[in-house]
Structure 1
Amino acid sequence: MPIPAAYNVRPDTGHPSETPYAPLSWPRTFLTWTSADSADTIALTGDISGRNSPAGIAMTAGPAGLGMPTFDLKADQLPNMDGGLFRSTRATTRDITLPLVIRGVDRTSLIQMHNRLMRALNPNAGPGWITATEGDGIARHLECYYVSGAEGSEAQENAGFTWMKMALVLRAMDPYWYSAAERQYDWHLDTGTALPFLSSSAYPGFFPLRISSASFNPSGLVDAVNDSSVEAWPVWTAHGPFTSLGLENVTTGQRFRLRDNVTVPTGKALVVDTRPGIKTVLIDDVNAWPQMNADSALWPLRPGMNQLRVTATGLGPTTLIRLHHVPRYLSYVGG
């Protein structure tokens, strides 16, 4: 039988009462769309009151697809037995639905804002970026193409003289959200000779974040943290001179190594891009895949702590090995 209890009565445990939890004040999530050429950034959770601008865009209740991506599970059916045998899983493309309302102080301002959004969404120009900024100020990006939703409907509940509603459907080929800051690790002989680092232009608003630097100690390990549940694929840039370069993830047992007779001289650079869909090894912009050892792998950083080791010979004062990666997440709030 049920035990009657009042919802606001706590049992006496004999210990001093705990301090009641005080809810934190938390600003609302801010969402923007950046066009393919990064020339225009439009607030999708903006002001539609008309007090600050003639027209604006706001999001109504019901956005979908901003959390975890959908996963495709592969399994083999077992003969003469119940169930199946799991084989693999992968994240599929992600569809996002954003219910929006555009409002202007007059018809002209409404049309101008509508046309501005249409130009920024045009998939013929390439993918744009959704940027979600949480109340703590942390921003994450997702590269998307416009699919549908802005065809227009003049039904009474969808449009008026100075306003209109639409439910945009956007598709992300890469389903993971990316951080707005790159993580960076350096290996060099003299910390005063480190070359300047410029943030990547692949995503708007990125800034470099130096984590640590290390020397070329063959027995020394550097801890690299991937604060996500998703693998991160680094880009290595190695400035000469050096010979027999080895890049090893001790945690996973994977490593990349150039052949022992391969030397990158002063003024030249090796770039190893491990990112999915790219996977290139270049020395001075020339394909260097044949210069790799046969057992080399373009390895990722696993979620959590990774112990890395960089080894090389024939070093000089301008030698600099740099790893940088952009953490990616399951959801716009992390994960």
Structure 2
Amino acid sequence: MPIPAQYDYSTDGGNPTGETYTPVRWARSFVTWTGANGDTIPLTGDIACAVEPAGIGITWGPAGLGMPSYDLKADQLPNMDGGLFRSVRATTRDITIPIAIRGVDRESATHLHNRLLRALNPHSGPGWITITEGDGIARHLECYYVSGAEGAETQDNAGFRHIKYPLVLRAMDPYWYSNAERQYDWHLSQGAAKPFLSNSDYPGFFPLRISSTAFSPDGLVDVFNDSSVEAWPVWSCVGAATGLSLENITTGQAFRMQDEYTIPATRTMVVDTRPGVKTVVQDGANLWPQMKADSALWSLQPGKNRLKVTAGGVNLNTLIRLHYVPRYLSYVGG
């Protein structure tokens, strides 16, 4: 892995005379697999048995942890060189994690192996690969097990107390997700937007970064999406609120309910814009018929997004909450 460095420039008469690099102390990356059965298994254990007598560890050669692969569409130009670009999309991502399982005896090695196999079972659903870098920033990727654990009883790959093989996992969504959720609130208040961290241990698992703003005078707030790509918010709207409008001024898109539709007091409407979900529900009831025809379940673009939330008939109990999870190109952010 590359060594992060601090740059120290010295000058003589305004001209650089050289630069020095001071290596930064950097803890080892920590990797876990969380299966659909809820079992979280460390994959960066002490397979050399220098500290612990047994464990599962990653060996040399992980692949597919960086940028996703892309599918480019283009039209070939008649009687001319090259083509005309049309579109690009990220494809599903395959990653390879070579692992070694080592036990103090045959029984402990078999126990570790069977525990991992149960957590990998794709019939139970997808699992999460989570990588925490030395700076404490964690990213996770939802994957299905594809192959690798079939095993090979060769001298190098298996023994009485150890087994090695490359796990191949496939992510349908190729982007890495932050373990820190972002959250913004709108309510009946004149308070200015003041971001703060609700957890001093940020980034832990889903701490909240919150900014509060008012329905009046404008209901405007700048949301900074620190993702590498667009992020898809989930809205929780607690009534009373009539003719709710959620607008992204930066992109020019808006989600609007019918002018006469009122979210009842103490009831919650959930607008989920995430791909593969795309729902507008209240207590299980579908509210698509109550949306205006020109509504869009819009995303947050990378960087600053100016949002506007408006509604009539609000009171002190009314709360409109936006929350989303940033997405990244690689496990180190990207």
DSSP-derived class of the 1:113 partner = helix
Matching residue of 1:119: 118
Matching residue of 2:195: none
Checking the alignment, whether the CA contact within 8 Å between 1:224 and 1:305 is kept in structure 2 is: yes
DSSP-derived class of the 1:302 partner = coil
1:228 Cα deviation after fit: 1.7
Structure-2-length-normalised TM-score: 0.89
Matching residue of 2:41: 42
Matching residue of 1:90: 89
Does residue 318 (structure 1) correspond to residue 310 (structure 2)? The answer is no
Matching residue of 2:254: 255
1:11 Cα deviation after fit: 11
DSSP-derived class of the 1:101 partner = strand
1:98–1:294 CA distance, 2 compared to 1 (3 A):
same
Q: Which runs of 5+ in 2 are unaligned?
A: 1-9, 192-203
DSSP-derived class of the 1:21 partner = strand
1:268 Cα deviation after fit: 1.3
What CA distance in whole angstroms lies between the structure 2 residues aligned with 1:163 and 1:213?
54
1:221–1:173 CA distance, 2 compared to 1 (3 A):
same
Matching residue of 1:173: 172
Aligned residues: 313
Identity of matched residues, %: 70
1:17 Cα deviation after fit: 4.9
DSSP-derived class of the 2:246 partner = strand
Checking the alignment, whether the CA contact within 8 Å between 2:141 and 2:171 is kept in structure 1 is: yes
Q: Which amino acid aligns with 2:229?
A: V
Q: Give a deviation string over 1:8-44, Cα, whole Å, max 9, x none.
A: xx99765475662311011111111011031x11111
What CA distance in whole angstroms lies between the structure 1 residues aligned with 2:325 and 2:14?
50
1:269 Cα deviation after fit: 1.4
Q: Which amino acid aligns with 2:22?
A: A
1:189 Cα deviation after fit: 1.1
Checking the alignment, whether the CA contact within 8 Å between 1:218 and 1:311 is kept in structure 2 is: no
1:98–1:312 CA distance, 2 compared to 1 (3 A):
same
DSSP-derived class of the 2:186 partner = strand
Checking the alignment, whether the CA contact within 8 Å between 1:218 and 1:309 is kept in structure 2 is: no
Q: Give a deviation string over 1:34-83, Cα, whole Å, max 9, x none.
A: 11031x11111111244554420111111000011111111111122111
Structure-1-length-normalised TM-score: 0.89
DSSP-derived class of the 2:155 partner = coil
Checking the alignment, whether the CA contact within 8 Å between 2:56 and 2:100 is kept in structure 1 is: yes
1:177-256 equivalences under 5 Å are 177-190=176-189, 206-217=205-216, 219-256=218-255
1:220–1:241 CA distance, 2 compared to 1 (3 A):
closer
What CA distance in whole angstroms lies between the structure 2 residues aligned with 1:304 and 1:73?
25
1:71–1:57 CA distance, 2 compared to 1 (3 A):
same
1:121–1:219 CA distance, 2 compared to 1 (3 A):
same
Q: Which amino acid aligns with 1:131?
A: T
Matching residue of 1:195: none
1:188–1:55 CA distance, 2 compared to 1 (3 A):
same
1:48–1:298 CA distance, 2 compared to 1 (3 A):
same
What CA distance in whole angstroms lies between the structure 2 residues aligned with 1:13 and 1:79?
58
1:13–1:149 CA distance, 2 compared to 1 (3 A):
farther
Checking the alignment, whether the CA contact within 8 Å between 2:242 and 2:312 is kept in structure 1 is: yes
1:216 Cα deviation after fit: 0.5
Checking the alignment, whether the CA contact within 8 Å between 1:74 and 1:87 is kept in structure 2 is: yes
DSSP-derived class of the 1:120 partner = helix
1:1-335 equivalences under 5 Å are 15=15, 17=17, 20-38=20-38, 40-50=39-49, 52-190=51-189, 206-217=205-216, 219-335=218-334
1:251 Cα deviation after fit: 0.5
1:13–1:157 CA distance, 2 compared to 1 (3 A):
farther
